[in-house]
Amino acid sequence: MSLKRALLATALVSAPLLASISTASAQPVTGLYIGVGAGANWVNNPAKVDLSGDVQAGNFGLPENTRINNVGKLNFDLGWTGVASIGWGFGNGFRAEIEGNFRENQVDSIRGFGLAPVGRTGGFQRTYGVMANVFYDFDFANFGLGQSIFQPYVGVGAGYAWTDWGNIRGQSANGLVIHSNDDNGQFAYQGIVGVATPLTWLGVTGLTLTAEYRFFGTLQPEQFTTISTPQGQVVSAGKVESDNYNHSVLLGVRYALFQPPPAPPPVVAAPPTAAPAPAPARTYLVFFDWDRADLTTRAREIISEAAQNSRRVQATRIEVAGHADRSGTPQYNQRLSERRAQAVAAELVAQGISRNEISVTAFGESRPLVPTADGVREPQNRRVEIVLR
């Protein structure tokens, strides 16, 4: 019996939370936002290392300005990465941001360089830089799939990054020691795919959880490297170029500082079991598809209900007001709201209402039901209001 009570109590406590999660839907990011993320980083193994041709004395025993591909290979252990960003959402799915990033991986093995098998390896490759990124967030509603708590996104970025070989070293079986402790900056680029889900059920508008994959690469950095005897005598020295390709999987959070609150979900109250019929409503909302002024089947049903109830409440005047969202220019939206209002008025006349009893006005985008930024497609603002006076 106690187990049943515990399960019932858990269900009662979690029901409001589950309901709030189910009603939360992803919104286009509007205005200033900040984000952070962290996760795992893989360096593309093995990372090939070439002689750069820009060398100092010794040149690994090769003539000056000589380049040999694949002179060595580095393998790295699984490492970690972290990013922080500040950006701006334009309210239409596009975002732009500036990002700082850091990656670190430990050397696992070193091969090549004309050395016998290399052991006793150590050191780290660290990459850090600044990137400018552009993103597009997909809205399922634009594809006729309805609202969703998940919002996939894609992005690309370009910037500058420094690759630091921190005390990378190894000793071959014949005693020779390879060593590098140098850094070099190069052009960097990345591609990003991810998915976001809002955390508005925590009571914070604009807070979003993100999960993403990133491919991050740079042009080949050049690091000064030496091969020396155990006594420290340099046998060969020069700069080498290495591949630097990274695969990262991150979890993060994003917070839009001035995100408008989501539209409240419609509340449907169950009618009482024994109560008189409710009085007819005096205000009716007719909604339209994006950039459309034609009436849907549901719109015609609402207009028919308004026409019937106008006789029951003995209305002397019926006000019809057209509205539009902010996804077009004000001039276009004014004309669109007029077409919507005229379409509703014509349907009222078809339902038996005298045209003299109807007054038609149009407000364009000036009186939104849900305030939004310019360019946002908001379904609740694409409407005609019918008021019985």
- Asked if residue 296 and residue 177 are part of one domain, the reply reads no
Among 98-107, 259-268, 289-298, which is the least confidently predicted range?
Answer: 259-268
Residue 264 domain-assigned?
A: no
Q: Is 38 helix (H, G, I), strand (E, B) or coil?
A: strand
Residue 308 domain-assigned?
A: yes
CATH code assigned at 87? 2.40.160.20
Domain that holds residue 181: 19-256
Q: What is the pLDDT of residue 21?
A: 44
Residue 273 domain-assigned?
A: no
- Asked if residue 243 and residue 335 are part of one domain, the reply reads no
Residue 11 domain-assigned?
A: no
Domain end position, chosen among 256, 271, 300: 256
Residue 181 domain-assigned?
A: yes
Among 134-143, 147-156, 276-285, 307-316, which is the least confidently predicted range?
Answer: 276-285
Q: What is the pLDDT of residue 272?
A: 59
Total number of domains in the chain: 2
Confidence tier at 382 by pLDDT (50, 70, 90)? very high
- Asked if residue 182 and residue 143 are part of one domain, the reply reads yes
Residue 13 domain-assigned?
A: no
- Asked if residue 158 and residue 40 are part of one domain, the reply reads yes
Residue 299 domain-assigned?
A: yes
- Report yes or no: 271 and 80 within 8 Å, Cβ to Cβ: no
**Could you tell me which residue, 58 or 106, shows the higher pLDDT?**
106
Average pLDDT of span 145-159: 87
- Asked if residue 237 and residue 119 are part of one domain, the reply reads yes
Confidence tier at 22 by pLDDT (50, 70, 90)? very low
Bridge partners of residue 171, in order along the sequence? 119, 177
| Burial class for 1, CB neighbours closer than 10 Å (0-12, 13-18, 19+) | exposed
- Asked if residue 305 and residue 224 are part of one domain, the reply reads no
Average pLDDT of span 90-95: 91
Tell me the DSSP string of 255-310. Answer: EETTPPPPPPPPP-PPPPSS-PPPPPPSEEEEE--TT--SPPHHHHHHHHHHHHHH
- Report yes or no: 252 and 38 within 8 Å, Cβ to Cβ: yes
pLDDT in tens, 179-203: 999 999 999 999 999 999 998 777 7
Domain end position, chosen among 202, 237, 256: 256
Predicted confidence (pLDDT) at residue 217 exceeds the cutoff of 70: yes
- Asked if residue 233 and residue 293 are part of one domain, the reply reads no
pLDDT in tens, 122-133: 999 999 999 999
Confidence tier at 142 by pLDDT (50, 70, 90)? low
Q: What is the pLDDT of residue 140?
A: 72
Backbone dihedral angles phi then psi of residue 22, each to the nearest 5 degrees: -70, -30
Strand order through the sheet with 358-362: 283-287, 383-388, 318-322, 358-362
What is the spatial distance between Cα 196 and Cα 247, in angstroms, rounded to a whole number? 19
Q: How many other C-beta atoms lie within 10 A of the C-beta of residue 308?
A: 13
3-state secondary structure 132-195: EEEEEECCHHHHCCCCCCCEEEEEEEEEEEEEEEEEEEEEECCCCEEEEEEEEEEEEEEEEEEE
Residue 123 domain-assigned?
A: yes
CA angle 180, 183, 184 (to 5 degrees): 130
Among 7-11, 80-84, 156-160, 173-177, which is the least confidently predicted range?
Answer: 7-11
- Asked if residue 141 and residue 36 are part of one domain, the reply reads yes
